[in-house]
Amino acid sequence: MNMAMRPLAYYAHSFMRQGNQIEVPIPYTIMTFEMPVFLSFEDIYEFINLQEISANCILVYMRYLEELCRINGQAEKFAFVSPTLISPVRTDTEDAGMRDRADNLISFLRDTPEGRLYLVPYNRGRHWVLGVIDLWEDLVLYFDPLREKKREDFTELMNMALSDWKIMAGEGIRRRQDSKTKISNRPCPVQEGSVECGYFILGKNGLVM
């Protein structure tokens, strides 16, 4: 076990075996509304033992990164989007579900200052990928530790949301509303097992910053 994980492991084993949970408030800047998430013993056990991690762990880490941005004066440069609002809940996504998820993403993009990057963890079905949205360059960077070419749902979501954003944006952006946003696959380390993708997303969020 990593030495940095030992205090967390001690706390979990000492105080959480009777069903206790850790409550972590998630700000509206990540969820569009304030709400708590609860980390269970299972969440922490899986995390410290490098097993498959939950969306709650991703959310808590995003909250940490956002706080770090605020402390370092980078709050205007980076923003974080909750994966629970935009990821498909099942593989046979219906149009209504896509529309709802696109609207959730658009709600983050309003009044975006020029130069801001949106970090978007995305779970397409027990596999984590990361999108980085640059609205003003009309570009989305796509990081997939499996390096698979299948990304139809993610692409459709980005095109739907960003097309609507262009309509709402200023005149200079509006002229590009008929063009599709460029989605660029970016090189990243390849995962060797079945669970590393979540940890890659945690690390890549920090590296982008």
This prediction's pTM: 0.84
3-state secondary structure 137-184: HCEEEEECCCCCCCCHHHHHHHHHHHHHHHHHCCHHHHCCCCCCCEEE
In single-letter form, the type of residue at position 172 comes to G
Domains located in the chain, CATH noted? 53-208 (3.40.395.10)
Structure tokens at 134: 């640059």
| Confidence (pLDDT) at 93 | 44
> How many angstroms separate the CA atoms of 158 and 131, rounded?
9
* Direct distance between the N- and C-terminal alpha carbons of the chain, in angstroms, rounded to an integer: 26
Report yes or no: 98 and 156 within 8 Å, Cβ to Cβ. yes
What is the rounded CA–CA span in Å between residue 209 and residue 207?
A: 5
Sign of the dihedral through C-alpha 84, 89, 91, 92: negative
CA atoms of 98 and 122, how far apart (whole Å):
14
Collect all residues with Cβ–Cβ distance below 8 Å to 64 and sequence separation of at least 6: none
Q: Give the pair of three-digit tokens for residue 13.
A: 């084993």
**What confidence score (pLDDT) does residue 129 get?**
94
Cα 107 from Cα 35, distance rounded (Å): 16
**CB-side exposure of 114: number of CA atoms within 13 Å?**
6
Q: CA 207, 165, 149: angle at the middle one, nearest 5?
A: 50
Q: Would you give per-residue pLDDT tens digits along the chain (209 residues)?
A: 556 667 777 777 777 766 778 889 999 889 888 889 998 888 888 888 888 888 999 999 999 999 999 999 998 999 999 998 999 864 444 444 899 999 999 998 887 888 899 999 999 888 999 999 999 889 999 999 988 877 899 999 999 999 888 888 765 565 565 677 899 999 888 888 888 898 888 887 666 65
